[in-house]
């Protein structure tokens, strides 16, 4: 289901927008400063052992990798229009800035249209690009079904459309037409496969802490393609890794952000007094009521709480032990450079290659960035792209 309320879609930007995608908690919480309390699982808990071995591989840069070291030189002189779902969020800002940097190096005339998290604005941005007869349209975090009418106009005009963090109409419904010339590929595969991997990483982190005793509440929103993918990945991983574990799903809507969300999470905690884990689809669910519900419940130190994106505000919650314990990560700038490389390869008549953008995890004891900063990969990707493009 696709919503048109700007204030609600704003919450999904980033990875995530968009991406905003997860959270969890357990009885093995950590105290402020990173000192863990005694684990509730035994050392011979096979579920915990297997999950710990898997999650250890996702710390640091996880599945993030260096970009391809070979490819076409910069193809200058093109006019590219980027239509972003919104530029006010941390992810929207970092993505736009990354796009500007890459486009300048590639010698493109790049315009950026701020969609203000409103689908009608997305359509307007695409239509403006069509009227300007640009050489390519770059969509960030805008799923095809939201803008199908405008995409039909771009297709009729012969303007290729490239997507970063977005599902094509044919991804949602195989019987539908594909409107995206190329879509950014992740280390995990497609955009949807990446989203499922995010959900699986949350489940695995929780099981590494709780093992076979996991009793988890999943706060799930499935109104957007990415959030449904996170939900599906979480549920599948829990069933595969611990079929005997209890998972209670709490469905929420974008319209619930704020007091309604806090109330729903609080009620779920009251109804599930034995729950030791809490998973939120993405960071915004934590800051928009989730963390407040955890703190008000008095169970902060008996819950393991995981979410996503690694925004500065959420990193601080983890550091201060205030309603979140872990999360997956996001680097909008690296994604933007990778998308620019994908478009440059198209201009040069070459095939796309998978980006180095993947999944990693952070928690009290692993990979917290400096205070006040969001997470970003330590991979020095810019020199690699510059060498491939033949620029400095």
The neighbour count for residue 131, using CB atoms within 10 Å, is 10
Q: What is the pLDDT, as a whole number, of residue 35?
A: 34
Q: What is the pLDDT, as a whole number, of residue 44?
A: 79
pLDDT tens string 81-101? 999 998 887 778 889 999 999
Q: What is the pLDDT, as a whole number, of residue 11?
A: 37
Q: What is the pLDDT, as a whole number, of residue 258?
A: 87
Reply yes or no on whether the pLDDT at 20 is more than 90. no
Confidence of residue 43 (pLDDT cuts 50, 70, 90): low
- The residues spanned by each domain of the chain are 6-64+191-328, 79-188+333-351+382-389
Q: What is the pLDDT, as a whole number, of residue 223?
A: 85
Reply yes or no on whether the pLDDT at 13 is more than 70. no
Treating both helix axes as pointing N-terminal to C-terminal, what angle do 90-106 and 381-389 enclose, rounded to 10 degrees?
30
What is the reported pTM?
A: 0.86
Could you tell me the two tokens for 6?
């700007």
Determine what percent of the chain is predicted with pLDDT higher than 70. Answer: 89
CB-based contacts of 23, cutoff 8 Å, min separation 6:
202, 219, 278, 279, 280, 281, 282, 283, 285, 286, 290, 305, 306, 307, 308, 324, 327
Q: Of 118, 140, 111, whose CA–CA distance to 332 is shortest?
A: 140
- What average pLDDT does this structure show over 55-76? 97
- What average pLDDT does this structure show over 44-72? 96
Confidence of residue 255 (pLDDT cuts 50, 70, 90): confident
What average pLDDT is seen over the chain?
A: 89
Reply yes or no on whether the pLDDT at 318 is more than 50. yes
Q: What is the pLDDT, as a whole number, of residue 117?
A: 86
Confidence of residue 169 (pLDDT cuts 50, 70, 90): very high
Q: Which residue has better confidence, 117 or 200?
A: 200
Q: What is the pLDDT, as a whole number, of residue 94?
A: 87
Q: Which residue has better confidence, 183 or 24?
A: 183
Q: What is the pLDDT, as a whole number, of residue 90?
A: 75
Assign domain 79-188+333-351+382-389 to a CATH class. Answer: alpha beta
Q: What is the pLDDT, as a whole number, of residue 42?
A: 59
DSSP 3-state of 100: helix
The neighbour count for residue 266, using CB atoms within 10 Å, is 17
Give the CATH architecture of domain 6-64+191-328: 3-Layer(aba) Sandwich (3.40)
């Amino acid at each position: 289901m696709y919503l048109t309320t700007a204030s609600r879609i704003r919450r999904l930007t980033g990875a995530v927008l968009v991406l905003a995608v997860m959270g969890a908690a357990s009885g093995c919480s950590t105290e402020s400063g990173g000192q863990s309390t005694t684990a509730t699982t035994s050392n011979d808990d096979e579920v915990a052992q297997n999950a710990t071995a898997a999650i250890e591989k996702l710390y640091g840069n996880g599945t993030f990798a260096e970009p391809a070291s070979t490819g076409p030189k910069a193809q200058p002189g093109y006019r590219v229009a980027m239509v972003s779902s919104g530029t006010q969020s941390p992810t929207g800002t970092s993505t736009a800035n990354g796009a500007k940097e890459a486009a300048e190096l590639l010698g493109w005339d790049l315009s950026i249209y701020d969609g203000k998290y409103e689908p009608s604005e997305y359509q307007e941005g695409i239509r403006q690009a069509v009227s300007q007869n640009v050489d390519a349209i770059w969509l960030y975090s805008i799923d095809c079904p939201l803008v199908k009418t405008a995409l039909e106009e771009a297709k009729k005009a012969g303007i290729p459309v490239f997507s970063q963090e977005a599902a094509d109409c044919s991804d949602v419904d195989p019987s539908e037409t594909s409107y995206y010339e190329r879509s950014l590929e992740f280390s995990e595969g497609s955009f949807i496969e990446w989203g499922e991997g995010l959900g699986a990483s949350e489940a695995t982190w929780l099981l590494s802490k709780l093992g076979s005793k996991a009793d988890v509440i999943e706060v799930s929103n499935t109104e957007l393609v990415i959030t449904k993918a996170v939900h599906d990945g979480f549920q599948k991983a829990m069933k595969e890794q611990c079929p005997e574990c209890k998972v209670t799903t709490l469905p929420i809507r974008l319209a619930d952000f704020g007091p309604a969300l806090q109330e729903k999470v609080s009620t779920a905690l009251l109804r599930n007094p034995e729950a030791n884990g809490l998973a939120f689809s993405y960071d915004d669910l934590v800051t928009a009521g989730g963390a407040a519900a955890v703190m008000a419940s008095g169970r902060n130190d008996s819950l393991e709480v995981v979410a996503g994106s690694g925004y500065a505000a959420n990193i601080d919650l983890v550091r201060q032990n205030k309603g979140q314990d872990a999360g997956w990560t996001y680097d909008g700038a690296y994604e933007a450079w990778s998308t620019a490389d994908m478009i440059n390869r198209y201009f040069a008549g070459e095939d796309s290659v998978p980006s180095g953008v993947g999944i990693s995890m952070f928690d009290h004891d692993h990979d917290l960035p400096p205070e006040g900063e969001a997470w970003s990969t330590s991979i020095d990707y810019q020199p690699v792209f510059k060498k491939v493009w033949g620029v400095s």
